[in-house]
Structure 1
Amino acid sequence: MTTIIERLEAVRRHYNLSGRGLADRLGQRPSTVTNYLNGTQAPKLEFIENILRLFPEVSAEWLIRGQGSMLIVDQPDVAELKKQYETELLVKEGIIKELRSIILEKNQDKQSLDRQQLVG
């Protein structure tokens, strides 16, 4: 398990910020942020809250307790995804059946005129 100091450092690295850059973004003194990042001083709750406000995609559970993933991932609507994939699957199955039919007709020399023009 990582420490809160390591997790704060991971946030800083993830957003490609220097200690000073993070301090500027948070409106903190660089020396204060440096003390938090190197473990000289324990980060105050206000600092943690500011991190979570500045980076809303960072999981509070991860930052404070070290549990879960660093970033909150939006969970897609399962029903919507299912509907989307079922529709795509039906379309693809229809295309496959049509292509199969064209191939069989071509192989049997029983191809209709409109399909001959389509396939060549």
Structure 2
Amino acid sequence: MTTIIERLEALRRHYNLSARGLADRLDQRPSTVVNYCNGSQPPKLEFIEHVLQLFPDISAEWLIRGKEPMLVTEHPDLAVLKKKYETEILVKEGIIKELRSIILEKNQNKQSPDRQQLVG
């Protein structure tokens, strides 16, 4: 797609909207949106921002610059994120428990010999 007008047309087709339907969804005057969609008037930045807010799955890079893909495809895999952060949390909890144990031993002057070498 070479122009923003063509990309707006593709967006309308994707959502099966007429220019008037798009205007209704955006709470804009139909004549303004029709002028943007047929190219008689360049779309204003506020209009583009409103489109991107209403359709969060549309890539801003695509709509503004024409860089593919049209739809945002970088949705995180929840299972991978959960595993990553669960492991990270478990490691941090283990470190915290170990540090707590060291501090308690140091405060009570009851350090084990192997810990004395580590802590000093």
Query: TM-score by structure 2 length?
Result: 0.62
Structure 1 residue aligned with 2:8: 8
Cα deviation code 1:28-78 (max 9, x no counterpart): 01110000000000000000000000000000000000012000013455x
Q: Give 1:2 shift.
A: 1.6
- Partner letter of residue 74 of structure 1? E
Matched residues, number = 82
Match in the other structure for 2:22: 22
Gaps of 5+ in 1: 84-120
Listed as ranges, the matches of 1:1-120 within 5 Å are 1-77=1-77, 80=80
Alpha-carbon separation, structure 2, partners of 1:43 and 1:76: 32
Identity of aligned residues (%): 75
CA RMSD of superposed structures (Å): 2.1
The CA distance in 2 between the partners of 1:10 and 1:2, in whole Å, is: 12
- CA–CA separation in structure 2 for the residues paired with 1:39 and 1:75: 33
Name 2:114's counterpart in structure 1.
none
Question: Following TM superposition, where does structure 1 have runs of at least 4 consecutive aligned residues deviating by more than 6 angstroms?
Answer: none
| 2:7 partner letter | R
